[in-house]
Amino acid sequence: MTSPDTSLAPGTGLPVGSVAPDFTLPDENKRPVTLSEIDGPVLLVFFPFAWSGVCTTEFCELRDDLSVFTDAGVQVFGVSTDTAQSLKPWVADQGYTFPFLSDFWPHGAVAQQYNVFFDKAGMALRGTFLLDADRVIRFAEVNMPGERRDQSQWKQAVAALLG
């Protein structure tokens, strides 16, 4: 893993046009997922915690509109500092059909690489990154804890990516 870019203001996320850092994280079933091994565009959706109200609402909306992304060939991943053991029952309970990655240990290392780690609370901010097939960031936003994201912007970014 590379160290985070210290020239960026904390919590602002990586800028559009930068290359997304590679990583390997376990999914909710403890299977390793490596970003560089995924073909096609990727939507990384960092979030603070499973089982919280805003996170659940956001991911239920994403679940219900998932075809907008999958029909465009975009693979979606939720990423949090929760353990895989806590993500697994939440994923099952909510009926999510896309992977959730655990950035638990080293704690928040990937969130730090993407400059969306909130160190005072030990959690990821609501960072969203759309990566093209070459792993260049084409859309990026960071929302603070409790601040719900507007997923229509994600859909517009996917449409723009497809041209």
Catalytic residues: 55
Q: Which residues pair with 131 in a beta bridge?
A: 42, 137
The first and second tokens of residue 89, run together, are 């029952």
SS3 of 36, please? helix
For residue 87, the 8-state DSSP code is H
Short-list 90, 110, 94, 112, CA closest to 102: 110
What residues contact residue 8 under an 8 Å CB cut-off, 6+ apart?
14, 15, 115
Would you tell me the crossing angle of helices 53-64 and 84-94 to the nearest 10 degrees? Answer: 50
